Amino acid sequence: MKLEMNVSATEPDWTRETVTGFWDAGPKLIRAVRRYQAAKENAGLFGGVMSKYWVLVHRFWSIITQSELHLHMPIGGGLRLPHPTGVIVHPNARIGPNCMLMHQVTLSGAVTLGGHVDVGAGAKLLGAITIGDNAEIGANAVVTSDVPEGAVVVGIPARVIRVKGQDTDVTE
């Protein structure tokens, strides 16, 4: 996972969700959630019909990706799902702006991701925990407690190996 420099933890970068082709499954799944929520905000017949349409679109891309990104959950703008398979997000989870979830990531329960949190492939984040802005979760980590801002964590259970912007090695 390449650290993306200059990604904001607070200002959503909507270009990260751009759909680039029909089979661009990650952005298509996210777009279905966005459009459903927008349709729901539109009272009246049109909003009602469109919300049902986006439910069907959402079902389609959920099946294709074997992922669960619930229609009602608040998701900060700029979410990226680069390899959208098996990404499971509990409806009580919260995702800040400009986050990235790799394949086979699970957010189980009321996990709160800050802004610009990158979660590596296969990582599992369990319970009512908070991940600070700009944190990075290593591939296959199992995270069971809060992660400070800018921390890079790996392992089972996950431990901090370094904090971005600090030269100190925190492995010992």
Ligand X SMILES: CC(C)(COP(=O)(O)OP(=O)(O)OC[C@H]1O[C@@H](n2cnc3c(N)ncnc32)[C@H](O)[C@@H]1OP(=O)(O)O)[C@@H](O)C(=O)NCCC(=O)NCCS
Binding positions for ligand X, rule: CB under 6 A: 1, 83, 102, 120-121, 136, 138-140, 152, 154-155, 161, 171
Which residue number, 6 or 171, has a Cβ lying nearer to ligand X?
A: 171
Are 109 and 126 within 8 A, CB to CB? yes
Q: How far apart are CA 1 and CA 136, in angstroms?
A: 9
Closer CB to ligand X, residue 17 or residue 136? 136
Q: How far is the CB of 166 from ligand X (least distance, A)?
A: 12
Smallest distance from ligand X to CB 102, Å: 4
Give whichever of 42 and 66 is closer to ligand X, judged by the CB atom. 66
Residue 165, helix vs strand vs coil: coil
**Under 8 Å CB-to-CB from 5, ≥6 apart: which residues?**
none
Nearest distance, CB of residue 10 and ligand X, angstroms: 22
